[in-house]
Each structure stands twice: as structure tokens, then as C-alpha cells.
Amino acid sequence: MTSLSPPDPAPSEPLASGRASTWPAVLAWVVIVTVTAVVAVGQSERKDATQPAADDPLGYRVLELQAKYSVAAAAQTAAGGPALLAQLEPLDSGTVGQRLRFAVVAAELAGPEEGLRRLDRLDARMAEQDVDPSESQQDSERMLRALFQNQLEPASSPVLTGAESARLVESLGWFGQLALAPPADPDAPERASVLTSATRLFWAFIGLLGGAVVAGVVGLGGLIILIVFATLGFVRFGLRPASGPAGIYAETFAIWFVLFFAGAILLPQVFAGLHLLAGTLATFAVSTIALAWPVVRGRSWEEVRADIGLHAGRGVLAEIGWGVAAYAMTLPLVAVGIGIMLILVALTKGDGGLFGGGPDDFGGGGGAAHPILGLAGGSAFDAVMLLLVASVAAPIVEETMFRGVLYRNLRAGTAWLGVAVSVALSALLVAFVFAVVHPQGLVAVPVLGALAVGFALTREWRDSLIPSMVAHALNNGLVMTTLLVAFGG
């Protein structure tokens, strides 16, 4: 593929040679809005988990992440267990299985009396809400009560048989292991074994957070300098004009949208015998067929590549470096997104709203987590597939379609509003669509949207998609690596 390095456009040069006003572009936007709305409605629905067989494996993983961090923090630092437990309080909700697991964490951080109190509260709420626990859940609760009571009044012989202990671990996983190794005997081999992954997660998170803070501070400084220099005219953003009416890119994105979600439903079934993520990889690959649409409609591939940013910019290595810098400059936006998310969660806590259910809501939702979280901690091949999907396929395809195709359409269509308004409106609209259609749920929209705004501004700055792909890959790679460390054996 030949390198295409676009020249710097003159400041007064328009970003579109025509507006998307024909019916195909309008129809395309109807499809885009419809698909986004359908996905948003689906994200807001919480599955019914009040039946005995109901389960929420993803929710358990989210709880396990936060519980491991808190348990390790209590062991590694002077942080008080009850204070850490208070921070986890919103997680004492959801399915019966999640609440049983939370009781284990409560006993670990605040003592066996607190564990028993949580089980009593669970029984009361199940009675109030007419929830019938499964036999396995009743068995797990009975065993937890016996373990907590034994911590208060130690018996002379084990309170659980070997078979019962095995059942508890099979039912509750890491939480079952934690219940069987209470803090009363911190030097026991079983205790050290169960805390290994928690300690590993704790230090991995501390390292990630510390690195993010340093990078974010540096990035904020770089962002301020970039804005000042751009205002003074020393830096010109590089997004080049479209080669023609950009309505065709709305059509392209709509086709990709439909192909992607159809593939996400069908292809995992086709590739079910290979690997759980094989269908996801195939979906990313097959959906890019949509990029042929502009060529079918008369554009040359060279024009399409230039329009959507599939070129080397001012050199591949230089653009990779700018991608790393762009990610650092995106982190302050992510911090703002996290703040907005926490405010929304606080405002809706306990009312069963879009951002989480109350203590009487036995529906599972998984929290703000991607479904592939369930594969973390599997085999080495699982880890490779996770990184391939999250850090290679997703950044390449999503940046091409969202920041390449859709952003191009919106920038061209809103150019008449002026550069500042056009950039802001286009970045926010693309960010909203990007965030809403991700499976983490509506609670994650502010954070994902902040990332997407940063990626869009990177595209505006560099024109080439390489920097935004690099920033996207860095973000996903760091998150996935932390998860692999957390759930690794």
C-alpha cells in the first residue's frame, strides 16, 4: 500500500466540497440512529435474575475485582476493613449469588458478625421480594453461616467436611476459598494461597494508577500547550478536506453498523467450536467489507483512504509517537468522565434507575464491564485471544469506522457551523454513538465517551488514524493486562 501523506490545508480551506443532503445519506442516518437507540434500550434493561437458576457471572467478576483490591489493601496497608467495606456497599445488591459473595467480603473486612448480619439481611429481602434461592445457594448460605459462627465460637473439629468445602469453592469460586481461609490464621498456607491473586491485583492496580496519574499530569500540560499554540497559530490541525460530498460515509457507516451487529449475533455461533472469541474476531474482519461501498459508489480507493485517515501521515513512527502523546492528553478527559460517572451513580443509587438497582433489586447486570472479562484468567491461548481482540482488532476497526468514516461525515456535514462548533459537535456525537453501543452498559457512557472525544480530537489534529489507533490500543492493552494479572493463576 502506498504512503499517502496529506499536505497541511490552509486555515481557511473548507472541510467539505459538498453536503450530505441526498436521500441515501438521510436513510443512512435513520439506520444509525435506530441501531443506536435499540442498543441503548437494550443496555438499560436489567435481566430478570429472580429465578432460582438465575446467575450473573459477569457481575461476580466485577465484584471479585473490587473485593480482591479491598482485601489486599486491608492486608498491605493500614486501611481499615470497615472503611473499605463501606466503599463496596453498592455491590451488596444484584443476584442472590452476588450477595452471598458479598457476605464473605463483609466477614473478611469487618468480622464474622458482619458476615452473619449480611446473610440475615439477604434472607429478609428474599422473603420480602418473593425470591426463591436455588438448592445450591441455600447450601452455600448454610455453609457460610457455619464458617462465620465457627470464627466466633471455634469448634474442636472442622465444621465442614472435605466434600462440603469443595462444593463451596465450586459454587462461590475465589470467595469460597476466602471463606475457608479466614484472617484469624494469617500464616496458614491456605490463607497465603487465596491472597496471592488479590495482592497481585493490588500492586498491578497501584502501578497502573500511578502511571496514569503521572501520564495524565504530563498529558494535561501537553494539552494546554497544544491549545495555546493552536490558538496563537503556531499549530494547525491537519484534517484535510473531503474529496467530495461526504454523505457517502454516512452510508458506509450505516452498512458497517448493520454488518457488525448482525455478525456479532451470527458469527459466534458459526465459530463456536473454535474459541469463544473467534466469532468476535471474524465479526471485526467481515464487517470491514463495508469500506468497499464508497468504491462501489464511484470513489477511488486512494480518495477513500485519504478521506478516512488510512494513511501514514507524516511517517508511521512519528504518528505512533504522537499516538502515545495523544493517549496521555486524553487521560485528563477520562478523569472528567470518571467524575461524571460517579456523580450519576450517586444520584441514581438505590432508585433502580439506568445506572444501577437498589438493595431490593435482585436483577443482575454485570456492572460497567465488558463481557470478555469472563475469559480473563483462562488459558494462555485465552489471554492471547483477549489481547488480540481488545488491543488489535477493536482499535483498528473501531477507529477506522468511528473516527475515520463517521467523523469524516459529521465534520463535512457541519463545516458550515465553523471549525470550533463543527469539531465539538462531531466529536461529541461520534463519542455518544461509540459509548452507547459498547456492552459495558449505560453507566460506562461518560468514561467511554471521554475516551472517544480524545480519539476524535487526535484524528482532527493528525488526520492519520494511526495515532488514535495507538491511543486506543494502549488503553485497551493496559486494562486487559491488569485483568489478566488479577485473574491469572
The confidence score (pLDDT) of residue 349 equals 58
Better-predicted residue by pLDDT, 20 or 133 = 133
The confidence score (pLDDT) of residue 348 equals 62
The confidence score (pLDDT) of residue 369 equals 64
Give the whole-number percent of the chain exceeding pLDDT 90. 58
pLDDT tens per residue, range 360-376: 667 765 555 666 777 77
pLDDT tens per residue, range 118-148: 999 999 999 988 888 999 999 999 999 999 9
What is the rounded CA–CA span in Å between residue 46 and residue 56? 11
Nine-digit cell at 217?
499530569
Better-predicted residue by pLDDT, 59 or 387 = 387
291-305 per-residue burial string, b: 16 or more CB within 10 A, e: under 16? bebbeeeebeeebbb
Q: pLDDT at residue 342 above 60?
A: yes
Could you tell me which residues are beta bridge partners of residue 353?
A: 356
The confidence score (pLDDT) of residue 236 equals 76
The confidence score (pLDDT) of residue 52 equals 46
The confidence score (pLDDT) of residue 11 equals 39
What is the rounded CA–CA span in Å between residue 100 and residue 118? 8
What is the rounded CA–CA span in Å between residue 25 and residue 242? 16
Indicate the range of 107-121, 234-248, 306-320, 330-344 predicted with least confidence.
234-248
Q: pLDDT at residue 18 above 50?
A: no
pLDDT tens per residue, range 70-84: 999 998 876 678 889
Confidence bin at 238 (pLDDT 50/70/90): confident
Q: pLDDT at residue 16 above 50?
A: no
Q: What is the 3-state secondary structure of 204-227?
A: HHHHHHHHHHHHHHHHHHHHHHHH
The confidence score (pLDDT) of residue 364 equals 65
Indicate the range of 18-27, 187-196, 198-207 predicted with least confidence.
18-27
Torsional class of 236: left (φ above 0), alpha (ψ -120 to 50), beta (otherwise): beta
Average pLDDT over residues 34-51: 70
The confidence score (pLDDT) of residue 45 equals 61
Average pLDDT, the chain: 87
pLDDT tens per residue, range 98-119: 999 999 999 999 999 999 999 9
Confidence bin at 341 (pLDDT 50/70/90): confident
Are 271 and 278 spatial neighbours (Cβ–Cβ below 8 Å)?
Answer: yes
Are 48 and 87 spatial neighbours (Cβ–Cβ below 8 Å)?
Answer: no
What is the rounded CA–CA span in Å between residue 222 and residue 323? 13
pLDDT tens per residue, range 278-305: 999 999 999 999 999 999 999 999 999 9
Indicate the range of 270-274, 351-355, 375-379 predicted with least confidence.
351-355
Question: Whole-structure pTM over 0.75, yes or no?
Answer: yes
Average pLDDT over residues 25-53: 76
**Which residues have a Cβ under 8 Å from the Cβ of 411 and sit 6 or more positions away?**
15, 16, 239, 246, 422, 423, 426, 460
Are 218 and 328 spatial neighbours (Cβ–Cβ below 8 Å)?
Answer: yes
The confidence score (pLDDT) of residue 102 equals 95
- For cell 485528563, name the residue: 332
